[in-house]
Structure 1
Amino acid sequence: MRIAFVLSGLGAGGAEKIVNLLAHHRRQSGDAIHILAVNADGPESYFPYDPDIKVSTLGGRGLGSQGRRIAGASRQIIALRRRLAEISPDLVISFLTKINVIAGLATIGFDTPVIMSERNNFKSQSMSSVWRLASPLAARRASRLVMQTADACDALPPGLRSKATIIPNPVALPDGFAPLPGDGTRVVAVGRLEEQKGFDLLLEAFARFARQVPAGRLTIFGEGPQRAPLERQAQDLGIGDRVHMPGLTKRPGDWLLAGDMFVLSSRFEGFPNVLLEAMMASLPSIAFDCPWGPSEILSSPDMGVLVPAGDVDQLGDAMLRLAGDPELRHSLGASGARVAAARYSMPSLLARWDGLIADAITVPATKRLAPVA
């Protein structure tokens, strides 16, 4: 079978990681795999691909005014449609809200099933009215919809819920990973430096933490448009010399060795992969109870600390509690690792993807060609 995976870029995000995992898994099963990165300018990928997986980049960013963005999206749709016509895939799998819209429109009239996978919180993320209106219409083109949480399924329009299935991301540690013991003073966070990830809230909480833990250090891995404001905020809070923002790690998972506890400070999520990775690595974890994902992952208090969304004081208190209690850090780390391994193991979740793919390619052609409006 020939499968075309369609995604935005080839960076260090969660969608890029799961596409990489699925692509290699399906290639090992004998499928011919094409990766189509709509917004990438070059084929270099943070998550490397085997040479027999074909990576194509369309380099079609639509920037500027709304009119220019619409024109840019139209060019992306045309470019993707042409590339798919050349590949003639048996199945298209797309990832993320806007890319799902582009893939849905680009495949109109193609006798090809499409699986659309939503990875972010489409109710909370910033989106123009054009994209917000187009999204449910394009989703009608999908044979199947993959959501990551029950909340995400519930947020779908009623007419789309029958197509939806929940498949959370699988999690695995880097080869040869071994956790290092720590004294509870090192706090680590990771994510794109943007408002969604709430690192401004984390800095406020860490300032509270740092006043009582003189040796405390915070490392935030990631890159993005909020770097300069966050650096200024750290200086204004008097913690500039205790906050380190080194950018992206050279290798996936390197950040796991930089902390004694992990903090997820997001305002909203689709499904926080980094929380699962931290748990799998036995890092005791604290998370804001933001929509969606943390409450489903940290479903009992022995797995990690869930803090009311946006509550900076309680976040700081939770960090102080873990710093001062080695036994609690150890028990949360051990319990979190056990649960993450049991619920989100690679083999079981990849098998669920295999079942979904097998189901999608059996959809009758008359249903594949359902109109988008």
Structure 2
Amino acid sequence: MHIVIAHFGTHYVGNPGGVEKVICQFSNEMIRRGHAVTILYRDYCEGNPYFPLDSRVVQNNILFQHGKKIISEKLPVGLRVLREIVRVFSKSGGQELNARFKGRQYGMQIQKYLAENPADVVLSCSVPSTKYVIDDAHCTAPVIQMMHSHPRYLFPRMSKAEKEAVGKCRVLQILLPSGLKTAKEFFPNLPVKVIGNPVYLPVKEAHPGDAKEKHLISCVGSLTKNKQQQLLCKAFARLAADYPDWNVELWGYSGSFGRSIQAWADKHSLSDRIFIKGKTTHVEEVYARSDIFCLPSRAEGWGLGLTEAMAAGVPAVGFKGCTGVEDLIQDGITGLLAENGDVDSLATALRSLMNDASKRKIMGQQAAESMKQYAPEKIWNEWEALLKDVIAGKK
């Protein structure tokens, strides 16, 4: 089968994001299984993803033709100003304006590519991508909506045009059972399939219960307001004096939010205890050195770094009420859940694990065991079966 992956919602080239990692893993596996895979994307340049990708996967930037950029990825200045004005009164309204204009730009190029390279099935990585493919490119191949955000977080923010486009998909895939209720509320007539992300066995295992000269609390993921790494730093500040052999490392794309955290650490004389490390292609080394993994996000579709750390045997800490985190951490078994957004509660959870090496070891072992339900072979089998059913018209 020829699988076309539509990735028009975020940057693609060199982007170390979770969506891009899953797309590359998916593409590599389907190529290995004998299928043809094309990734259609949009970005300001042509190039390769951050993560390893089989050379047989076709990549095509719809904004370029024969190496020359023919379409801008940005709205004209006037429309950008109008969009921001509309957003003041309606976030979905601003999103709708964005989607409609970009759809007119992108639709013709997507349609042209699919006419020359027919797809058996299109896998859309974002809601805007679905609109561009179905409504603007008039795609006749079956489309599967692949969700990377949690429905509870994303669906209420959709524009009317985006909601209508998703409703025309053949199947809606979501990552976690907790998203089923919202998915059915928004799309009562659309088949919904729960398929989690694959969690690969670690190259190296962590040893969170071992005696060490230095212990580590790690957090892996882009430094953003949503992931709230500043709350981890503030919680650690309450503990640092009592635990001089513990440090914090924040890994991932940094930017302005990372700089603000660095300034905070400098101001509170914690720059020798809290380290902003940036991106890495050897994240397994981080997990192997970790004694606790903390993801203090307000919302996640799926905590990818979280599941990778847990698979390595690291006990995890996150917030109750955070989608994509509380679904994966079993409170008191594979880690601890603090009260949502509460720095004192987060500090208490961290202290509980920092105090008890035996607890860290047992919870880490249970975390690794819990991730076996997302074994790659199982996840890819589910995906392949879904793709075949959709093509055959069984879905």
Match of 1:79 in 2: 109
Partner SS for 1:27 = helix
Quote the Cα distance in structure 1 between the aligned partners of 2:289 and 2:108. 44
Return the match for 2:218 from 180, 184, 188: 188
What residue is the counterpart of 1:229 in the other structure? 260
Distance 2:187 2:218 in 1: 38
Contact 2:204 2:285 survives alignment (8 Å): no
Q: For 2:177 and 2:331, locate their aligned partners in 1 and report how far apart those are by CA, in whole Å.
A: 17
* 1:370 matched residue in structure 2: none
Which residue of the partner structure matches residue 371 of structure 1?
Answer: none
Q: CA deviation at 1:219?
A: 0.6
Aligned partner of 1:19 in structure 2 is 23
Q: How many pairs align?
A: 360
Output one character per residue of 1:72-99: Cα deviation in whole Å (capped at 9) or x when no partner: 4532333333322232111100113333
Segments of structure 2 that go 5 or more residues without pairing to the other structure are: 64-71, 84-97
Give me the whole-angstrom Cα distance separating, in 2, the residues matched to 1:27 and 1:356. 16
Asked if residue 302 in structure 1 is aligned to residue 333 in structure 2, the reply is yes
- Trace 1:195-274 onto structure 2 (pairs within 5 A): 195-223=225-253, 224-274=255-305
Classify 1:248/1:290 alpha carbon distance in 2 versus 1 (closer, same or farther; 3 Å).
farther
TM-score (norm 2): 0.83
Q: Post-superposition shift, 1:258?
A: 4.2
Deviations 1:124-165 (A, max 9, x none): 3699x7x53232111022111101122322112536244211
In 2, are the aligned partners of 1:143 and 1:363 still within 8 Å (CA)? no
- Structure 1: 5+ residue stretches without partners: 368-373
Distance 2:165 2:124 in 1: 12
Question: SS in structure 2 opposite 1:51?
Answer: coil
Q: Is the 8 A contact 1:136 1:157 kept in 2?
A: no
Aligned partner of 1:177 in structure 2 is 204
Amino acid at match of 2:54: D
Q: Is the 8 A contact 2:103 2:136 kept in 1?
A: no
Q: 1:350 to 1:262 in 2, by over 3 A?
A: same
Helix, strand or coil: the match of 1:165? strand
Confirm or deny: 8 A CA contact 1:47 1:252 kept in the other structure.
Answer: no
Relative contact order higher in (CA < 8 Å, ≥ 6 apart):
1
Residue 261 of structure 1 and its aligned partner are, at CA, apart by 1.0
Please give the residue correspondences for 1:1-373 in structure 2 after superposition, counting only pairs within 5 Å.
1-7=1-7, 8=10, 9-10=12-13, 11-39=15-43, 41-59=45-63, 61-62=73-74, 65=80, 67=82, 69=98, 71-108=101-138, 110-124=139-153, 131-156=158-183, 158=185, 160-161=187-188, 162-174=190-202, 176-179=203-206, 181=210, 183=212, 185-223=215-253, 224-341=255-372, 343-363=373-393
1:201-245 deviation digits (Å, cap 9, x = unpaired): 111111112132123211111114412222222223332222111
Q: How many Å apart are 1:253 and its aligned residue? A: 3.3
